[in-house]
Structures are given as C-alpha cells and as structure tokens.
Amino acid sequence: GANFRLQNTKYNFQIGGNMQVADQKSRSIRASTAKDSTYKQQFVNFSPTANFTYNFSRSKTLRFNYNGRTNQPSITQLQDVIMPDETNSLLFYSGNPDLKQEFSHNVRLNYNTFNAATFRYLSVNMNFSSTQNKIINNIQFNNDGTQIYKPINADGVYNASSFITLGMPLRGKLKGSSLNFDNRIAYNHDASYLNSKANFTDILLISQSAGVNFDIKQKL
C-alpha cells in the first residue's frame, strides 16, 4: 500500500490505497457420482482511499472522505455443490463458481461550524454507499415444493443518509440555554431475486426532533 499526503494551513488532503492478491482452492469429492472437482479462484483486492479537509476558520470545517473496499466470496459460496438443510427437508443450498467479488464505494461529507460568541452551531453529515456485484441469494421455488438458495451477483444496490443538527442559543434571562433541532433522512435501495427475477425494495425514513436545554443558574 501507499499514501500521499499534503498538509497546508487552510487545507490538507490524502490519497492512496493498498492491494492484496488472494488465492482460493476447493476440491469436492462426491461419493454418490464418483466425480470429483477442483475449483481455483484468484482475487485482487484493491482498497483506494481519499480524504480532504478545508478549514474556513478555527470554528468552521469541511471534510470529505472516500474509501473503496472489496469483499470476496467464501469457499462455500463458490462450490458447485447442492447441499440439503438438515433442519428442513425442502430447503437446499447451492454454490456458484462464477461469483465475482463485491466492491463497495463509501463517501462521507461533513460540515461543522460553531460560533464561540453566541454558542450557535450547525453540523451536517451526509453519507452515500453503493455496492457493485453485491452477493445476494437467488431463491428458486420448484414445483415439488423445494427451495434452492444460490448466491449470485447483483448491481444497483445503494443507500444514502443525512444527519443535521442545529443549536440556537436563547437570550435574556435564559442566556446559557439553547434550542436544538435534529433531522435524519435515510434512503435504502436493495435487491433480491426470486426465480431469477430481480426485485428492488426502496425504504425512506425521515425523522425530526426538537429539544431545549435549560441552564437556570443557582436555581435548577
């Protein structure tokens, strides 16, 4: 791995990554068919990273972060073998030797500002992540009532979220107290497969909260 970083009074950034090669080998011995099989897989894991920070002032900062990550399938997921579930006679699991490794992109943006004179503050956090070749199960329903779970790769899976906090100080006799507002938004776009047909699920969550902090000196 290697990283390059530049430090400045107003800003700094870092860019780099690391790479790893992984080899996997699986040998299946099948007594029922007397037909053995050997599977070999090689994966190159690359993890890039990038960070950027800009300081508008001592109390106002903007940060950006990105990282990529790979996730390789397990030996069990790669084996071309159908295995029954010992607790359910109608349920079977099958491997997939054609599986590709997942690659996830993760982005985060953060902005913070704080006024030391008025105690007014604002914090904004935004996150986004997406996964290429995400490993999910394709559920195959057969006419005899059995189900076969087989891992496959799927694209178009992502999620995004934001979290905003605003603090507003009170004045007059309530000086030292503050009003606080929190807003959360989350959106998830996920995939599933039934009988080799894609199904996408969208979930949107929004929440808003408000609170007050009282600081009544010498009384409460």
Backbone angle region of 119, left / alpha / beta, with phi > 0 → left and psi within -120 to 50 → alpha: left
136-to-75, 100, 149, 190, 220 alpha-carbon distances in Å:
15, 11, 9, 10, 55
Taking the C-alpha atoms of residue 136 and residue 200, their distance in angstroms, rounded to an integer, is: 12
Q: Please give the backbone phi and psi of residue 80, each rounded to the nearest 5 degrees, phi first.
A: -85, 65
Q: Is 87 exposed, middle or buried (0-12, 13-18, 19+ CB in 10 A)?
A: exposed
Q: Are strands 147-154 and 88-94 parallel, antiparallel or unpaired?
A: parallel
Single-letter code of the amino acid located at 27: R
pLDDT tens track, the chain, 220 positions: 999 999 998 999 999 999 988 887 777 777 766 777 777 778 888 899 999 999 998 889 999 999 999 988 888 888 878 888 888 888 999 988 888 999 999 999 999 999 877 788 999 999 999 999 999 999 999 988 899 999 999 998 999 999 999 999 888 777 778 899 999 999 999 999 999 898 999 999 999 999 988 776 655 5
134 forms beta bridges with 154
Contact 157, 188 (CB under 8 A): no
Report the predicted TM-score, pTM, of the whole model to 2 decimal places: 0.80
Nearest to 16 by CA among 27, 7, 4, 6: 4
Strand, coil or helix: what is 101?
coil
